[in-house]
Amino acid sequence: MPAGRPGGSSRRRGPDVRVAIRVRPGASRTAVGGTHADRLVVAVSARAVDGAATQAALEALAKALGVRPRQVRLVSGATSRDKLVEVDADEAEVAGRLEELRTT
């Protein structure tokens, strides 16, 4: 899928890298890895109530990418399992780590 589409891989746009994720709330443990429909899977133990799963997913993604939580922000999909997030970090570093996470 070409870069620039929400379902595609990460892309650089201004100072941010965009990443399409699929959140799996209510998991037995928090984990980041694998893909679902070309989106990075983020499993979180938090339930999908009052944004708890979204917040937990953003924090888990930040930890997995080795960036601060404030460097990861939601762009779209607040009430959906499919979300688009921006990561304020070096594109090359993030792209390399994302590739590792997608294959785990």
Residue 104: what pLDDT?
Answer: 82
Compute the average pLDDT of residues 1-30. 72
Amino acid at 1: M
> Residues 28-66: pLDDT tens digits?
999 999 999 999 999 999 999 999 999 999 999 999 999
- Token pair for residue 57? 């997913």
Going through the chain in order, the beta strands assigned E by DSSP cover: 11-13, 16-24, 31-36, 39-43, 72-76, 82-87
**Distance (Å, rounded) from C-alpha 39 to C-alpha 13?**
18
What band does 15 get if pLDDT is binned at 50, 70 and 90?
low
